Amino acid sequence: MLVAAAVVPCPPMIVPELARGAVAELDLLRAACDQALAALVDSAPDRLVVLGAGGADASLEAGGIGTFAPYGLDLEVTLGAGAPQPLSPALTVGAWLLGRSPWAADRIAAGTAPSPVSAAQIAADADPARCATRGADLVAGPDRVALLVVGDGSACRTEKAPGYLDPRAEAYDRALGAALADADPDVLAALDPALARELWVAGRPALQVLAGAAGPGREGRLLYAEAPYGVGYFVALWS
């Protein structure tokens, strides 16, 4: 069963060594992510699953290894037992954030087997029904499961954004932020994949997996909602 979920974004610039002189610009985002990860630990889960989009559906029960080399930084991060499976960019950022949290010190470093931390990858083109089924499967059974959901909102918020400016993007992200604040899985489940592609919403499939895992009756808190680089970044907690 799902006991808690946190939503975080996945900009590589969240890593201070990549941000360099602009590191302070994302200080509030890092602090919000740290707060979200601490709340997941406080929920006392039996296992934590890091969830993000990638090229295809995959279950990385033993974790994996991610790298920031494509962004010019010689830095590897491990998730769970550090199995030699590659992590997608979203899961790599999730692993880096997790490494900053108390969970890393208390559970990952203990080297317990089977690892209490695993990863789940959902294909970037997965339809809403497949996402919902994947979410339900992730939390089936008696284990207390915490989800770390990694994904961005629209990347079309400004002319300098990766997807350039789309006038629909701000309203889209506003509605998305409201759904995260209200812990409303119905809104997430109803996200249109075609519109999400047009607005470069890379986190759409992971958010719809969350909707399938959570169900109704949750409480939500929105800790961060900004678009510092023309990309919608959200940090939210569902309990």
One-character DSSP codes across 170-181: HHHHHHHHHHHH
User: Which secondary-structure segment (H or E) carries 89?
Assistant: helix 89-99
76: left (phi over 0), alpha (psi -120 to 50) or beta: beta
* pTM for this prediction: 0.94
Tens of pLDDT along the chain (239 residues) come to 999 999 999 999 999 999 887 778 899 999 999 999 999 988 989 999 999 999 999 999 888 999 999 999 999 998 887 678 899 999 999 999 998 876 655 555 554 434 478 999 999 999 999 999 999 999 999 999 999 999 999 999 999 999 999 999 999 999 999 999 999 999 999 999 999 999 999 999 999 999 999 988 999 999 999 999 999 999 999 99
Beta strands 220-226 and 117-123, pairing class: unpaired
- Residue 12 half-sphere exposure, CB side, CA atoms within 13 Å? 17
Dihedral pair phi/psi, residue 182, rounded to 5°: -90, 0
What total number of domains does the chain contain? 1
CA of residue 130 relative to chain centroid, distance = 18
The CATH number of whichever domain residue 96 belongs to comes to: 3.40.830.10
- For the record, the structure tokens of 20 come out as 């360099």
- Only one residue has tokens 């959570």, namely 214
Task: Classify residue 55 by burial, with Cβ atoms within 10 Å: 0-12, 13-18, 19+.
Answer: exposed
**Domain enclosing residue 218, as ranges:** 2-238
CA distances from 45 to 103, 146, 212, 215 (A): 11, 6, 19, 18
How far, in Å, CA of 17 to CA of 75, rounded?
Answer: 9
